[in-house]
Structure 1
Amino acid sequence: MSKHSAIKVKDLVKHFGKDDNLVRVIEGASFEIQKGEVVALIAPSGAGKTTLLMMIGCVTEPTSGEIWLGEDLVYKNKWMAKDTRKIRREKIGFIFQSHYLIPFLNVLENITLLPQANDVSQKDAQIKAMELLKYLEIDDKAHNMTSQLSGGQNQRVAIARALANNPEIILADEPTAALDGERAVSVIKMLKKIASEQNVAIITVTHDDRILPYCDRIMKIQDRAIVFE
């Protein structure tokens, strides 16, 4: 495991069901992603992209194999920690196609929710949130409700929320699917900047060919295995 490695997967397998109902989704996947990389994950619908993302994110339990996040072995044929939620809170930021912002909280409150759940004081959480909003050039919307923002602005808020716990890894599931061309490119450029400047590894599931030129590598699920372009 290199000191620059953010994610390492070895012989990862995921099956659903059993006997006559057995569905083989991932078979023996092995790969490594470095800090600062933006990797696109592409495959046909139903090939297991989101399943792979959720296994790396310690949400879905694999059938077998190993997952390393940084220097920590988090899965080896079983979860190595009793509380996978703690791993997610401390190491991983999630961004989804639908931003899932809480509509009755304003922008600042949406971003500070997770840090405060991690016992960060309200004051420190707000300072960090404002830094992120300024970094993402949306600090003038801090006290707006999410309903007052455009789709692209809400996605930037979702990115700020994902960064609020200082993650080593960001997992994004179709983050630009609901955006037009200009906004989609703006979001992927922002993720590229975050990866480079904050040394964060980013995997983004996508069907959006517009964002592929901005990714460092393209990872495919092909015949239930992982291949790179």
Structure 2
Amino acid sequence: MTKQAIRVEKLNKHFGKGDTFVDVIHDASFVVNKGELVALVAPSGAGKTTLLMMLGCVDEPNSGQIWLGDEKVYDDKWLTKETRKIRREKIGFIFQAHYLIPFLNIIDNLTLLPQANGTSDEDAKKKARELLKYFDIADKEKSMPTQLSGGQNQRVAIARALANNPQIILADEPTAALDTERSIDVVKMLKKIALEQDVAIVMVTHDERMLQYCDKVLKIENRAVVVEKVIV
């Protein structure tokens, strides 16, 4: 069985025309394997989130190829009209803010997506309770988001990203709102998840102190080329 979770070949993304043309991602080619925590770094405005959203089948590239697992999902165009289905079934998202639904308790926040995918209420709650136990917040399942600390809410947000058993987790600066100690805790947690759950995690970060916990670093240089670098 292949370890490939994401494969990108000659991916391109630009904005504007003529004098306003900006080549953001140019001929990017890289592979992210299952079990890897990969950092995506670049200066502000250089296209980190754009690349992440292309991998997440949210933002459409201009050309190139994308594979998610063994499935080719993009080849100069989306190969399916059901990109939303791909996102629901294969990808988990984590953002800077936790974006928990404030009027739902914690376990209902975790079961919402699996139930939308057709998972039974019983199975969704079983999975949610396993995740809450894994993140050491099992006693918070009936709590509301406002009753939890910032760090606890981010744990719930990470648990929610795992609730649909994704192959890939895309995290857009998940530690931006946290202090250094909590940031390190979250990144170590993501590393543990990548290994134990055998998922690929791509994490946008501006904090170079987090890179030591990652397996690879993808850098966007000169607003054009994505270069893969391996942390030794």
TM range (shorter): over 0.9
Residue 51 of structure 1 is matched in structure 2 by: 50
Distance 2:80 2:139 in 1: 40
1:205 Cα deviation after fit: 0.1
Aligned pairs for 1:38-187 within 5 A: 38-187=37-186
1:16 Cα deviation after fit: 1.2
Structure 1 gap segments, 5+ residues each: none
| CA displacement, residues 182-213 of structure 1 (integer Å, 9 cap, x when unaligned) | 11111111111110011100000001223211
Distance 1:18 1:130 in 2: 50
Percent pairwise identity: 68
> Could you tell me which amino acid in structure 1 is paired with residue 164 of structure 2?
N
> Could you say what secondary structure the match of 2:67 adopts?
strand
| Paired residue total | 228
Residue 9 of structure 1 is matched in structure 2 by: 8
> Could you tell me which amino acid in structure 2 is paired with residue 226 of structure 1?
V
Distance 2:53 2:161 in 1: 15
> Could you say what secondary structure the match of 1:152 adopts?
helix
Structure 2 gap segments, 5+ residues each: none
Query: Does 1:226 pair with 2:226?
Result: yes
Distance 1:175 1:127 in 2: 26
Distance 1:190 1:4 in 2: 21
Distance 1:19 1:86 in 2: 36
The answer to whether the Cα contact below 8 Å between 2:34 and 2:199 also exists between their aligned partners in 1 is yes
Residue 195 of structure 2 is matched in structure 1 by: 196
Distance 2:161 2:17 in 1: 36
> Could you tell me which amino acid in structure 1 is paired with residue 211 of structure 2?
L
Q: RMSD of aligned C-alpha atoms? A: 0.9
Distance 2:30 2:211 in 1: 19
1:181 Cα deviation after fit: 1.4
Distance 2:227 2:214 in 1: 15
1:121 Cα deviation after fit: 1.0
What TM-score comes out, normalization by structure 1 length? 0.98
> Could you say what secondary structure the match of 2:206 adopts?
coil
